[in-house]
Amino acid sequence: MTSYCTATYRAFDEKADFHKKAAGIAVGLTVGSWTELPEAKKKDMEKHLGKVVSVEVHEPEADAAPGSLAAQRYADIKIAYPDANFSRDIPALLVTAFGKLSMDGRIKLLDLDVSDDFRAACPGPKFGIAGVRERLGVYDRPLLMSIFKSVIGYDLPELKEQFYQQALGGVDLIKDDEILFENPLTPIEKRVEACIAAAREAEKHTGQKLLYATNITGRTSQLRAQAKKAIAAGANALLFNVLAYGFDALQELAEDPEIDVPIAAHPAFAGAIYPAQHYGVAPQLLLGKLMRLAGADLVLFPSPYGSVVMPKDETLAIADALKQPEGALKSSFPVPSAGIHPGLVPVLVKDFGRESVVNAGGGVHGHPMGAAAGGQAFRQAIDAALRGEALEEAANRPGNEQLKAAIELWGVKR
């Protein structure tokens, strides 16, 4: 029995016969031609022929705002591609479903529903939400992540001190900046050794475990060696710029049994792929489903409220793609990011729930009382949000002066 992976597209055109276009896609991206084939050959080729699943045409609405989706003529098209046509890897699937087609006018890839056979070839997250929580021993609240800032040009003692101050704030994870590459001042083994030593020292004061997501960079052929080098030095998590390297590179890392630490996927370069209405790949597929399928345990993406803003419906769709039940595939932590401060915590918890990560850079380092106080302010805000208490009330509790200073500086998002 033939199994299929199904792609969903949104094609825009004022005059096109969308049913004819769908038939052309199904044939053109699989067997190339059909009506010209002899009948005997059709029997042999049918198992390779793409199939039109559905075509839903949307005509413009007369009273719609100019430029809005409702004001345009488009069709949502579903095409099923036989698994027999491609190898069981994400690059092969992407080239089949949207390689040449991505250059064929105004068309956007909205979704990919993979077959059970294809999914079986993808490991998904090695740890997932449950496994990351188990490593940290934290089960009842959103996790808190902080980010190194101003790391280029810093030496190891400076980096270690910055890490230590963040760790004192009670964060659960600290990640490298995505632009921190291998360099003479902070080579990966020495960087890991210094930061893990700082984590152990901070744990004596905070009493909590901490994951350090070390940025894995370099030539693609050397990524696994770099990851293992970092782990040998003590790294207990990895950060990876997935879209610069490709989903297959992430899958190689996730599949390797010697890389036994959670992997956080950074969205760098995603803005070149998802934002256009008429082109590219929908964010819930790019940063949600495919990241999870390839093996990311945590996935960063722009939040709806910070400094790099993504529409709220898109961010929620990403989070849903990362967490919704998907057979044996483990769920991944959604990490809405960019411009996050303690005053945003209630809306983050409301919109993304407990199974999410609050991720902050400037919201930690920019705290008027220092980075340690910045982390503490976030923890106080998370506790208040879970109690259903207004941050202004929580800020007046004894011992919550860190939260008070944070909301005096940044305010509270309603």
pLDDT in tens, 339-371: 899 999 999 999 999 999 999 999 999 999 999
On the CB side of 76, CA atoms within 13 Å amount to 7
In single-letter form, the type of residue at position 191 comes to: R
pLDDT higher than threshold 70 for residue 33? no
Q: Range(s) for CATH 3.30.70.150 in the chain?
A: 4-120
Share the mean pLDDT of the chain.
Answer: 93
In this predicted structure, which of 60-74, 173-187, 320-334 has the lowest mean pLDDT?
173-187
Nearest to 174 by CA among 206, 201, 228, 214: 214
Q: Are 254 and 279 in contact (CB under 8 A)?
A: no
Question: What's the helix, strand, coil split of the chain in %, to 5?
Answer: 45, 15, 40
CA atoms within 13 A on the CB side of 336: 33
What Rg do the C-alpha atoms of the chain give, in angstroms? 24
What dotted CATH number matches 4-120?
3.30.70.150
Task: Inform me whether the pLDDT recorded for 30 exceeds 90.
Answer: no
Q: Where are the alpha helices (DSSP H) in 88-127?
A: 90-98, 116-120
pLDDT digits (tens, 9 = 90+) for 188-219: 999 999 999 999 999 999 999 999 999 999 99
Three-point CA angle 295, 245, 160, nearest 5°: 80
Dihedral sign (CA 262, 267, 268, 269): positive
Amino acid at 181: F
DSSP assignment string, 355-394: SSEEEESHHHHT-TT-HHHHHHHHHHHHHHHHHT--HHHH
CATH class of 128-410: alpha beta
Q: What is the pLDDT of residue 179?
A: 83
pLDDT score at 40? 54
100 carries an active-site annotation: yes
Give me the amino acid identity at 375.
G
- pLDDT-derived band at 414 (thresholds 50, 70, 90) equals confident
**Cα 334 from Cα 303, distance rounded (Å):** 10
**Which residues 6+ apart lie within 8 Å of 270 measured at CB?**
243, 283, 286, 287, 301
Q: What does the pLDDT look like over 365-379, one tens digit per residue?
A: 999 999 999 999 999
Does position 3 have pLDDT exceeding 90, yes or no?
yes
pLDDT tens track for 229-247:
999 999 999 999 999 999 9
Question: Which residue among the candidates 42, 43, 100, 209 is catalytic per the annotation?
Answer: 100
Tell me how far apart the alpha carbons of residues 142 and 83 are, in angstroms, rounded to a whole number.
Answer: 39
What is the pTM assigned to this prediction? 0.94
Placement of tokens 């008027």 in the chain? 368
Domain with CATH 3.20.20.110 in the chain: 128-410
